[in-house]
Amino acid sequence: MNPACPFCSPPEDEIVLRNGLCYARLDRYPISKGHLLIIPFRHESNFLLMTRKEQAAALDLLSQARSKLDSEFHPDGYNVGINVCEAAGQTVAHAHIHVIPRYAGDVPDPRGGVRFVIPEKAKYWQAPARTKPNSK
């Protein structure tokens, strides 16, 4: 546990789902209605360095989160994202998964989804055709 970490000591009233290794809570700065975070109780900054059991527990909560959000908010889709390290946009140095409900019409054109982390590369369907790697 890291006393300075905002995810290490969650207030009980903020936990909406939990299992032995992870918990879920609403994001304090939501992108959409129902935006959840799935967070391991153990302080680890990098999702890819979490134990396999922690990762499995997080994915189990992801499934539970989908059921809860489907029931409460009736989204039309989801974006699920994990930022690993500062270069990828991670701003809280405690591993977490964003579960972002999406609603029809919330943006004019949702194609590309998470590809928009690098906007100029997102619209691959408009890019000129490329040759296959190692082709002549």
Catalytic residue list? 96
Are the C-beta atoms of 88 and 53 separated by less than 8 Å? no
Residue 124 CA: distances (Å) to CA of 114, 119, 120, 130: 12, 10, 9, 11
Q: Which residues pair with 38 in a beta bridge?
A: 24, 97
Distance CA 78, CA 58 (A): 16
Burial class (CB in 10 A: 0-12, 13-18, 19+), 133: exposed
- How big, in percent rounded to 5, are the helix, strand and coil portions of the chain? 30, 20, 50
